[in-house]
Amino acid sequence: MPLVISALKEKKGENRVSLTPDVVSKLNKKKFKVVIEKGAGQGAFYSDEDYTAAGAELGTHLAALKADIVTTVYRPIDSDLERLKKGQTLIGMLNPFSAQELFTKIASAGVNTLSFELLPRTVSRAQNMDANSSQKSIAGYKAVLMAANAYPEYFPMMMTAAGTARPAKVLVIGAAVAGLQAIGTAHRLGAVVSGYDIREDARDQIESLAAKALISSVQVKDENGYARALNDDERKAQQAELEGFIKENDVIITTAQVPGQKPPVVVSKKAVEAAKAGTVFVDLGSSDLGGNVEGSKPETTVTTKNGAIIIGAGDLPSQIAKSASDMYSKNIENTINYIVKDEKLSLDLSDDVLKDLVATSNGEISSAFLRRRYGLSAKEETKKEEVK
CATH code, domain carrying 110: 3.40.50.720
Domain-located, residue 127: no
| Same domain (yes/no): 97, 176 | no
Say whether 42 is catalytic. no
Question: Please, what is the Cα angle at 158 between 156 and 164, to 5 degrees?
Answer: 130
Q: What span, in angstroms and rounded, lies between the C-alpha atoms of 125 and 83?
A: 33
| Same domain (yes/no): 165, 310 | yes
According to the model, what pLDDT value does residue 272 have?
96
| Same domain (yes/no): 176, 264 | yes
Q: Active site residue: 74, 154, 226, 374, which one?
A: 226
| Same domain (yes/no): 179, 299 | yes
In this structure, the dihedral spanned by the alpha carbons of residues 34, 37, 43 and 47, taken in order and rounded to 10 degrees, is 70
Whether the pLDDT of residue 158 is over 90: the answer is yes
DSSP secondary-structure letter at 387?
-
Say whether 124 is catalytic. no
Domain limits at 29? Answer: 4-119+321-386
Whether the pLDDT of residue 369 is over 80: the answer is yes
Between 237 and 271, whose confidence is greater? 271
| Same domain (yes/no): 332, 309 | no
Q: Active site residue: 133, 134, 205, 329, which one?
A: 133
Of the candidates 255, 283, 314, which is a domain's last residue?
314
Q: Active site residue: 127, 208, 217, 350, which one?
A: 127
Q: What is the pTM of this model?
A: 0.91
Where does residue 226 rank: exposed (0-12), middle (13-18), buried (19+ CB within 10 A)? middle
According to the model, what pLDDT value does residue 230 have?
73
In 28-186, the DSSP E strands lie at 33-37, 57-59, 69-74, 89-93, 112-115, 158-160, 163-165, 169-173
Q: CB within 8 A of 174, min separation 6: which ones?
A: 196, 197, 227, 254, 255, 256, 266
Average pLDDT over residues 371-382: 81
Whether the pLDDT of residue 383 is over 60: the answer is no
| Same domain (yes/no): 154, 61 | no
Domain-located, residue 17: yes
Q: Which of 65, 90, 3 is nearest to 332 (CA)?
A: 90
pLDDT confidence of 213, banded at 50, 70, 90?
very high
Say whether 226 is catalytic. yes
pLDDT digits (tens, 9 = 90+) for 25-58: 999 999 999 999 999 999 999 999 999 999 999 9
Q: Active site residue: 48, 80, 83, 121, which one?
A: 121
Say whether 121 is catalytic. yes
pLDDT confidence of 98, banded at 50, 70, 90?
confident
Q: Active site residue: 130, 197, 250, 315, which one?
A: 130
Quote the number of domains for the chain. 2
